[in-house]
Structure 1
Amino acid sequence: MKYIKSVLFIFFTTVSFLSFAQNANSRVEASFDNDWSFKQEDVVGAEKPEYADAGWRKLSVPHDWSIEGEYDKLNATGRGGGYLPSGIGWYRKRFTLADDQKDKKISIEFDGVLANSEVFINGKSLGKRPNGYSGFSYDLTSFLNFGKGKSNVIAVKADNSVQPASRYYAGAGIYRHVRLVTTNPIHFDHWGVFVRTKKSDAKQAELSVEMNLTNESNSPSSVELQVSIISPSGKTVKTITSTKQNLTASGKLNYAQLLTIDQPELWDVESPNLYKAVTKIISGGKEIDQKTTEFGIREARFEAASGFWLNDKNIKIKGVCLHHDAGSLGAAVPLSAWERRFKLLKEVGVNAIRVGHNPASPEFMSLCDKMGIMVMNETFDTWTTSKNNGENGYNLYFKDWWERDTRDLALRDRNHPSVVIYSVGNEIRDNLDSPEGFKKYKDQQDLIHSIIPDMPVTMALFRPSASKVYTNGFAQTMDIVGQNYRESELVNFHEANPTQKVIGTENGHTQAGWLILRDKPYMAGQFLWTGFNYLGEADWPEVTNNQGLFDISGRWRTEGLQRQSWWSDKPVVHLVRRDDNAGKGDWVANWTPSDFDTYDIANVQVYSNCEEVELFLNGKSQGVKPKPANDSPRNWELNFEKGTIKAVGRNGGKDVSFEEFKTAFEPAKIVLEVEKSSISNNWDDVVYVTAKVVDKDGNLCPNATPLINFSISENAEIVAVENGFNASHEKFKDTKRFAYKGSCNAIIRAKASNGEITITAKSEDLTSGTTKISIK
């Protein structure tokens, strides 16, 4: 919770400060999320300010209207889009501006609109953006009305009607945040400040603060540029003001301020220390613009022989791939939902995320900074050649838009210390055994290098032997050679080319793959597919892809339990058994068979990193087994008995970890569990409430599937419900859900600024459960 509190505190204090700064003739960045009108259809004339939208739905953004829809096998999105609806949606918002704003530059910034957006102000088109994952900004100034009684209307058309457009769930609408930005005519550019660490160690860091300015007035000006560095504890450790710089009328200025920081607090995965650079433009002794840029001081590098180094420490990148949806929340994901997921991943031992296969939101990236999670940033899933189930996707726009989209992502994310590598493509099907294929890759790599010097670039190669990239010289042009799966091929390539740096860009949950990462010093890291199950890329009746360490509700899957035994530094013991008799069925983590009459032989596995594990059934030892050299699980075959099964892990002869399960009786009641006791009245703050079906003794009933009805007090709302079942076709936007494996979730958000929220869960023949959460 401390991470989300930090982010929300920064948000609120920034708004407060900027309101003050406006009086000082500086910049104002105001949320533009509230009070939109929405219509889920194509509407003729909706861009016109006089259009009558009184009957439209009132809502705030971020908003994903696709996730609110019904599953249907015939929906045009198909298996890629998870069989959820597509189409056209319009958003409109009316706002006014005071007369004293006439001399200002006013822009609107969108963090992402899915997809093929077009934005209008007072009936004038500002432009289109095909890529729904790109952030963008439009200058509104010359089209605005100022003064009392004069309103402005901004209208946004989001069109994902041409399908299939994605191999995985994309979403629909203004699904990320929006801001209205007011500056003086002389101002920092959008993403116009870059704090670059040129050199760093524990004694001293050399920084370059690069500032890009624009003068949108008709008069030249003389300005000073001031940089203040704020330490992680909030102290100003350095302030430098430049000599006067001449800025021509309608001109631009690029200026770099060099400075040093003594005894810097370095950013790493264990201590993610973050600094702030407060940059100001001063003219005639007055501040006319200011930006605060968060950054980290760290040195990251890849070596061909020894893999990845962070601040001169050789570590393995233990990563997962994540799509941008969060299950029942769709594409419009509150920050606290990402925080919940990141905490679970860190429990496994994950220290890195590959954003697959599109840019994530700005707050997602900032949370990685704050929580010490490294990032492989990624641009595209396709170049010009389409893929199955996504034939009408970005491949239609790559030729005209790749440069703009890549440039904008690199500019937006260049200050994030968490980003240690870029990928410019995932399993690209363009011909890489051709001059054109070489050029497409090199152009993208060169562009990123020009914006972020020293940033390594890779791509997730697809079947490199078949595409000939290991023999035609293509792989040798890459900063780091990345490959999906087939880990032994990557090993063979490196050992034949020992000067090449290598990384697994996408990997399965196999033991063989883990041993390659563990035992090959040159293997910099791996990114598992995936951290969480995700919507789409599934065959009906399933609508969710089932390859995660966790399901969409955050329930541990056996892949996550085993991976924790390989990746965690803490003692780990996890107990699983075959669900069906005599070694048949899936692995499950319980001691309650679905059919007691036919279950008599239990195949049991224990995932553990402990030196030895002893298994007990109803207090009787079933034997002690040492840790295998290849980290494989320890196995037992038992005659099933109702009662308690327990696995105990020992190091040095001492008990260090254990796990036990008890056989559950008949379902008796619902117990509600919450992961935090308070919530703020903010869109980005939600709380997951888990309804568990338990027996009279409080043991989870893993085979119970009753329909659970949630109700909530008027000071809050139920945002979504979910249960993690991959073939569930229930609507997420609801107040009821069938339990799966004995539980389901309700995700709630506050609607008031204080008070206490009461949540109740009921089901026929079960005692109801109730819990309370305070609003702060």
Structure 2
Amino acid sequence: MKNFKKTEAKRFSFILILVFATTAIFSQGRKTINFDANWQFTKGEIAGAEKLTFNDKTWRTLDVPHDWSIEGPYDRENPSARGGGYLPTGIGWYRKTFQLDAADANKILTIEFDGVMANSDVWINGNHLGKRPYGYISFTYDLTPYLNFGKGKTNVIAVRADNSVQPASRYYTGAGIYRHVRLVVVNPTHFKHWGTQITTPNASAQKAVVSVKTEIENKGAAGTYKLQIDIVDSKGKIVKSSESQENIAANTTSNLAKEMEVQNPKLWDIEAPNLYTVTTKLYSGKTLIDNETTTIGIRNAEFRADTGFWLNNKNYKIKGVCLHHDGGAVGAAVPLGVWKERLKKLKEVGVNGIRTSHNPVAPEFLDLCDQMGFVVMDETFDTWTAAKHNGEKGYNLIFKEWWEQDTKDMVLRDRNHPSIVIYSIGNEVHDDLSYPEGFKTYKMQEDVVKKQDNTRPVTMALFRPANSKVYLSGFADHMEIVGQNYRENELIAAHEAHPTWKVIGTENTHVLVQWLALRDKPYMAGQFLWTGYDYLGEADWPETTNNQGLFDRAGNWKQQSLQRDSWWSEEPVVHIVRKSDNAGAGVWVADWTPNDFDTYDNAKVNVYSNCEEVELFLNEKSLGALKKPADDSPREWNVTFEAGTIKAIGKNNGKIVAQEEQTSAGKPAKIILTKSIPTLANNWDDVTFITATIVDEKGIRCATADNQIKFTITDAGKIIAVDNGNIINHDGYQGPATRTYQGTAIAIIKANKNSGTISLKATAEGLTSDSIAVEIVSKK
């Protein structure tokens, strides 16, 4: 990524050139138009809001993605209850007015929604296009028959989103058009939506076969067309091309398949996520009439019964986490920059796998997994027909009507992502899985997946299989991969009784015994911890957030992430934690500043480390050295507390390779600001996390500080959310102020202009304030 500094004149000229070039290309092929800006929004049921002539001038103007539920307020009486985190639910309306070029009157125009929560109805110029109940699914509608073209002629798209029927989910869903929207303009002869599938059936470092299958939809006249396919590497070099003449009949869909050989490809894997793009172009004569670009990775992934997961003939343990779709303080409308920051921290801990629990995610999230080298378990549903507590009015009410369409659409949309190595078609479903009746429901879903993509195995997250008898009834015998939540010893016993079964932990806790089940059993392909990040909902008031994550909502490290770092990191690490209260009581914390110095004299200290030897010091006095336990358990000391500095030194082969120290803090004195990335571009997805830390005069974090922090920002930027990670915080995330928790708070900011510098200031009563600058740049 390059940062550019230009004069305003040069920048404007560059933009004009770019717009001209883009328009020239799109005038021949397809046009994909960002449709996120300038929607009108209001809450509540509004009669006639779908009509073209409805007056929406008093509605709020905003851009999507937009989640109105996260705006709050928190209320114990909100119908979402514990599942939805006590945030508001109801009906929301969106309307967008737009005009269309008369030159496009003979083309086909569709609108693509990446996700609308939930029970969406869509109208164009008063004409109802359809309903999609499942808020996580992406969908498209053909607008063509109902549009007005030409100067001065307006069109209105109206969307009604209804999540008023509650409790609809065991975890937070969000509300509204919370993902991106696009308008797509194509010629009558065009590549079908989600109609291109690219696989690498044979892939090695010496040679790879890239298989391209594409569907061309012809709603025009019959003709002979040229299909051109280029495989392009990360530097923009075409490494392989194919051209063919294709006769396509009128009003038909043609299925075309090409195999192309690439010599010495750069393979996609966890350690080096190399990507290629495949451009497919369709010509009529010399005129480009449609074009698509698909990002792919050349790789070979498989699961083996005896040795687990293999990628490009290398045996990996999938060290995964489950992630819900919310981004904490930003709710369900998550800028990609939030996910970048989260996935970066998960990488630091050694995570290499993500389970999309328990629903389809935003497509750009999968793009990021492709780019960063995470393998993914792509999951469809949390429920089938049986209800679950605190989500009784969820997908179970529509499963029979919608499961097939929703499953098909997820697989068609996602199948080209190299990161996806396995599909899951259910999480702890409470339906009767007795064989053969229960397996019939499983098999019909598996068949739909396989019809759209037969290159990846299918599993589900089994719930208490020893109780449901699926290991004995024959159900598990027919699963491609047996996935089980928790109870690792049951899964181990099941595999050892059935050595031909391929097995994986689909959901696991953070405790040592569950890590050892993965570490010590070669056939265990992987595990997915519950969870990578704390997530909204599934919590009992006054808690609003489930806190089982490796990291909290604001991205702060927790005891379990520090310990996991010592188990999964490839680098030498040491981390010191102590029990917060005297004599081993309380919770684990990572500081040397007790709540009450006078009553804290017996500190139970653990050091998490992958080093061969760890020596602990208190105020430069050695408290002894301990060797690494064979079972990866922490090294423990009982320490008579003294204010000052505790330090752990890790050694390998007698050499210091890692160390960490903590120092007792004095009285809060000032605020220190830091930023997660130094520059921002003016787009919806780019954010930086500004962390405010309260420190004493020596710069030591005051872990017990809970001061109210107020953020102010110049007009070049905007604060989109504030947070502190506290699971009982009810103040909301939309204002400019929040209290610190364990001495820190964050403000998530975006750019508001195309150039300049953003200045953010943090103040608190009685403390020295701090300011920080973030430069706005052009990014490509």
TM class by shorter chain equals over 0.9
Q: Distance in 1 between matches of 2:401 and 2:436?
A: 19
- Which AA in structure 1 matches 2:222? P
The aligned counterpart of 2:377 is 376
Structure 1 residue 555: Cα displacement: 0.2
- Scaled by the length of structure 2, the TM-score of the pair is 0.97
- Which AA in structure 2 matches 1:709? K
The aligned counterpart of 2:232 is 230
Comparing 431-440 with 714-723, which one deviates more in the overlay?
431-440
The aligned counterpart of 1:698 is 699
Aligned 8 A contact 1:505 1:527 in 2: yes
Structure 1 residue 716: Cα displacement: 1.1
- Which AA in structure 2 matches 1:55? T
The aligned counterpart of 1:98 is 101
Structure 1 residue 320: Cα displacement: 0.2
- Aligned to 1:493, what secondary structure does the other structure show? helix
Against the structure 1 CA distance between its residues 767 and 518, is the aligned structure 2 distance closer, same or farther, given a 3 Å change threshold? same
The aligned counterpart of 1:167 is 170
| In the alignment, structure 1 residue 107 sits paired with structure 2 residue 117 | no
Q: Distance in 2 between matches of 1:326 and 1:16?
A: 36
Against the structure 1 CA distance between its residues 395 and 17, is the aligned structure 2 distance closer, same or farther, given a 3 Å change threshold? farther
The aligned counterpart of 1:512 is 513
What does 1:574-589 align with in structure 2 at a 5 Å threshold?
A: 574-589=575-590
- Aligned to 2:29, what secondary structure does the other structure show? coil
The aligned counterpart of 2:129 is 126
Q: Distance in 2 between matches of 1:21 and 1:363?
A: 24
Q: Distance in 1 between matches of 2:770 and 2:229?
A: 55
- Aligned to 2:566, what secondary structure does the other structure show? helix
- Which AA in structure 1 matches 2:469? K
What does 1:526-605 align with in structure 2 at a 5 Å threshold?
A: 526-605=527-606
- Which AA in structure 2 matches 1:226? Q
- Which AA in structure 1 matches 2:233? S
Comparing 13-22 with 376-385, which one deviates more in the overlay?
13-22
Q: After superposition, what is the alpha-carbon deviation per residue over 1:376-425, rounded to whole angstroms, capped at 9, x for unaligned? A: 00000000111000011111111111111111111111110000000000
Q: After superposition, what is the alpha-carbon deviation per residue over 1:204-226, rounded to whole angstroms, capped at 9, x for unaligned? A: 00111101110112x21221211
Equivalent residue for 1:68, pick from 43, 67, 71: 71
- Which AA in structure 2 matches 1:245? E
- Which AA in structure 2 matches 1:183? V
Structure 1 residue 285: Cα displacement: 2.5
What does 1:221-620 align with in structure 2 at a 5 Å threshold?
A: 221-242=223-244, 244-620=245-621
Q: Distance in 2 between matches of 1:304 and 1:572?
A: 33
For the aligned residue pairs, the C-alpha RMSD in angstroms reads 1.4
Structure 1 residue 447: Cα displacement: 1.5
Q: After superposition, what is the alpha-carbon deviation per residue over 1:700-721, rounded to whole angstroms, capped at 9, x for unaligned? A: 0000001111100011111010
Q: After superposition, what is the alpha-carbon deviation per residue over 1:292-343, rounded to whole angstroms, capped at 9, x for unaligned? A: 0000000000000010000000110000000000110100000010000000
- Aligned to 1:767, what secondary structure does the other structure show? coil
Structure 1 residue 619: Cα displacement: 0.4
The aligned counterpart of 2:152 is 149
What does 1:754-769 align with in structure 2 at a 5 Å threshold?
A: 754-769=755-770
The aligned counterpart of 1:7 is none
The aligned counterpart of 1:6 is none
Q: Distance in 2 between matches of 1:12 and 1:194?
A: 35
Equivalent residue for 2:92, pick from 89, 98, 102: 89
Q: Distance in 2 between matches of 1:2 and 1:773?
A: 16
- Which AA in structure 2 matches 1:231? D
Q: Distance in 1 between matches of 2:532 and 2:472?
A: 33
- Aligned to 2:471, what secondary structure does the other structure show? coil
- Which AA in structure 1 matches 2:173? A
| In the alignment, structure 1 residue 651 sits paired with structure 2 residue 652 | yes
> Can you give the 5+ residue segments of structure 2 that lack an aligned partner in the other structure?
4-14
Q: Distance in 2 between matches of 1:701 and 1:555?
A: 15
Identity of aligned residues (%): 57
Aligned 8 A contact 1:221 1:246 in 2: yes
The aligned counterpart of 1:21 is 25
Q: Distance in 1 between matches of 2:725 and 2:17?
A: 37
Q: After superposition, what is the alpha-carbon deviation per residue over 1:95-145, rounded to whole angstroms, capped at 9, x for unaligned? A: 001111101111100000000001100000000000111101101011000
Structure 1 residue 13: Cα displacement: 11
Aligned 8 A contact 1:18 1:29 in 2: no
- Which AA in structure 2 matches 1:222? T
Q: Distance in 1 between matches of 2:308 and 2:103?
A: 57
Q: Distance in 2 between matches of 1:486 and 1:671?
A: 44
Q: Distance in 2 between matches of 1:80 and 1:225?
A: 50
- Aligned to 1:328, what secondary structure does the other structure show? helix
Structure 1 residue 18: Cα displacement: 4.6
- Scaled by the length of structure 1, the TM-score of the pair is 0.98
Q: Distance in 2 between matches of 1:352 and 1:14?
A: 38
Q: Distance in 1 between matches of 2:756 and 2:428?
A: 51
- Which AA in structure 1 matches 2:25? A
Q: After superposition, what is the alpha-carbon deviation per residue over 1:440-485, rounded to whole angstroms, capped at 9, x for unaligned? A: 1111111111211231000000000111110000011111000000
Structure 1 residue 245: Cα displacement: 1.9
Q: After superposition, what is the alpha-carbon deviation per residue over 1:605-652, rounded to whole angstroms, capped at 9, x for unaligned? A: 000000000000000100000000000000011111111000000000
- Which AA in structure 1 matches 2:726? F
Aligned 8 A contact 1:91 1:156 in 2: yes
> Can you give the 5+ residue segments of structure 1 that lack an aligned partner in the other structure?
4-10
| In the alignment, structure 1 residue 38 sits paired with structure 2 residue 27 | no
Q: Distance in 2 between matches of 1:157 and 1:437?
A: 36
The aligned counterpart of 2:222 is 220
Aligned 8 A contact 1:18 1:28 in 2: no
Structure 1 residue 284: Cα displacement: 2.0
- Which AA in structure 2 matches 1:46? A
- Aligned to 2:473, what secondary structure does the other structure show? coil
Q: Distance in 1 between matches of 2:189 and 2:438?
A: 42
Against the structure 1 CA distance between its residues 585 and 235, is the aligned structure 2 distance closer, same or farther, given a 3 Å change threshold? same
Comparing 120-129 with 434-443, which one deviates more in the overlay?
434-443
The aligned counterpart of 2:207 is 204
Aligned 8 A contact 2:435 2:473 in 1: no
- Aligned to 1:766, what secondary structure does the other structure show? coil
Structure 1 residue 198: Cα displacement: 1.1
Structure 1 residue 526: Cα displacement: 0.3
Structure 1 residue 193: Cα displacement: 1.3
Structure 1 residue 15: Cα displacement: 7.9
Equivalent residue for 1:179, pick from 177, 182, 205: 182
Aligned 8 A contact 1:448 1:455 in 2: no
Against the structure 1 CA distance between its residues 117 and 14, is the aligned structure 2 distance closer, same or farther, given a 3 Å change threshold? farther
Aligned 8 A contact 1:706 1:738 in 2: yes
- Which AA in structure 1 matches 2:23? S
- Aligned to 1:192, what secondary structure does the other structure show? coil
Q: Distance in 2 between matches of 1:703 and 1:431?
A: 49
- Aligned to 1:168, what secondary structure does the other structure show? coil
- Which AA in structure 2 matches 1:22? F
- Which AA in structure 1 matches 2:185? T
Q: Distance in 1 between matches of 2:616 and 2:102?
A: 77
- Which AA in structure 2 matches 1:589? A
- Aligned to 1:470, what secondary structure does the other structure show? helix
- Aligned to 1:471, what secondary structure does the other structure show? helix
Q: Distance in 1 between matches of 2:630 and 2:18?
A: 53
The aligned counterpart of 1:8 is none
Aligned 8 A contact 1:718 1:749 in 2: yes
Structure 1 residue 435: Cα displacement: 3.2
Aligned 8 A contact 2:435 2:475 in 1: no
- Aligned to 2:197, what secondary structure does the other structure show? strand
- Which AA in structure 2 matches 1:239? S
